[in-house]
Amino acid sequence: MSFESDIKRVEQIAELLSSSQTPLEEAIALFEEGMALTKALEKTLSSAKQSVQIVRGESVDSVEITAME
């Protein structure tokens, strides 16, 4: 699952939890799934570390891209 689809799923779960049409047992299962996804998403976000690269060379045909100090 991608980050984007996980987010869509959590939003969908929040909708389902608000609906009185969702049986309680299913709501509990959805809640657990939603919390697991949320924790994973938060982890992904907080573990992201900025990557900075720099272009070397001035050709418009090909460039070398290296990490910037």
Partner 1 sequence: MHDHLQALSVSALTALIKKTLEEGFYGLTVHGEISNFRPSSTGHWFFTLKDESASISAVMFKASTWRVDFKPKEGDRVEVTGSLDLYAARGTYQIKVEAMTLSGYGEILAELERRKRLFAEKGYFASEKKRPLPPYPRRVGVVTSPTGAALKDILTVLARRAPAIEVLVLPAVVQGDSAAESVALRIRQANALMLCDVLIIARGGGSTEDLLPFSDEVVVKAVAESSIPTISGVGHEIDFALVDWAADLRAPTPSAAAELVSASSHALQQAVKGYGPHLIGRIEARLALAEAQLRRFDSAALLHRIDAALDSKQFVLANATNAMTASTDRILASAQETLRVLQGRLHALSPLAILSRGYVVVTDRDGTIIARKADASPGSEISLRFIDGSRRATIEEDL
Task: Read off the tokens for 28.
Answer: 């509990």
Determine if 9 is a binding residue for partner 1 (CB under 8 A).
Answer: no
Residue 5 or 51: the one with the smaller Cβ distance to partner 1 is 51
Token digits for 6? 């996980």
Q: Which two tokens stand for residue 57?
A: 């060379």
Q: Does 1 bind partner 1 (CB under 8 A)?
A: no
CA–centroid distance for 42 within its chain: 8
Inter-residue contact 10 to 37 (CB < 8 Å): yes
CB of 39 to partner 1, least distance (A): 7
Residues numbered 12 to 51 that lie near partner 1 (CB under 8 A) are 13-14, 17-18, 20, 23-25, 27-28, 31-32, 34-35, 38-39, 41-42, 44-45, 48-51
